A and B are shown apart, each in its own frame.
Chain A
């Protein structure tokens, strides 16, 4: 009983310390914040097509096979950084990468693609930036893996790299591409 008098406050202290440690350790920042969209249908959008002036693009037409939705802009430095990786992925024909050009200017976007190459199967233009808000985008670049059923499987906040692709995207695509029908 006597030893309990010391053990109890000590245990209490350790419990509080543990709770605080876990809280501080997991304190959310932009990069590791889990998207609430995961496991939910990708929000629908219909936006102007960058490559076909006057035409519209809708993500409903991509259903049936998985794709990557990549939010980018020419004002975004990290997008420049990940561009080569996207080029490599598109060359390897992994899955189609759909670009979402966020609050950008068309001529700058065209110039960028001519200079650096175009990894995108299609590019939608969102000048007002409404669609990225629906996707909970905090900053460019962000990449969403949408499966064949239109469900968001993964969100990457930050530039794509080959190691992230191998670790996070490739296994999910391998597991999900068969699901359609």
Chain B
């Protein structure tokens, strides 16, 4: 009986610790913006993670503690509140800060070029394989002979 109660105690302590940590992490969270509409909340989260903090450059405005990032988050919050679409919010930022503010650039070349290179690679590979197989076909000596020959040599 004493054993189970001491284990129970430990569990209680653990639970208290986890709760304390959860509260602490909530206190350290930068952004406390909340929307009534969960869809808008999701859009706000999505957009702030997609936009670059123009002062620190390699963090999103969601992750940055810089003053400007807070201002840009406010801007996003107002745009979301006003019912703007993702694309409208992106355009709003691009009109002011340029394409560089987007972590996911909209240039189609970025996405098309690798595919073009892949196609070129496949074409080259196919050509080489065809040429090689043609060489084998032209060769009179059966493949087995060559294999035997090399086996004998060993």
Contacts and interface: CB of A to CB of B under 8 A. Distances in A.
Interface residues of A, number: 19
Interface in A122-151: 128-130, 133-139
Interface string B87-112: 00000001111101000000000000
A17 to B, nearest CB: 15
A82 to B, nearest CB: 18
Interface residues of B, number: 14
B71 A138 contact: no
Interface in A92-107: 103
A181 interface: no
Contact of A136 (B67, B71, B96): B96
Contacts of B71: 128-130, 133
Nearest to A28: B100
A33 B97 CA distance: 9
B6 to A, nearest CB: 56
A7 to B, nearest CB: 15
Contact of B55 (A30, A129, A130, A135): A30
A139 B97 CA distance: 12
Interface of A: 28-30, 33-37, 103, 128-130, 133-139
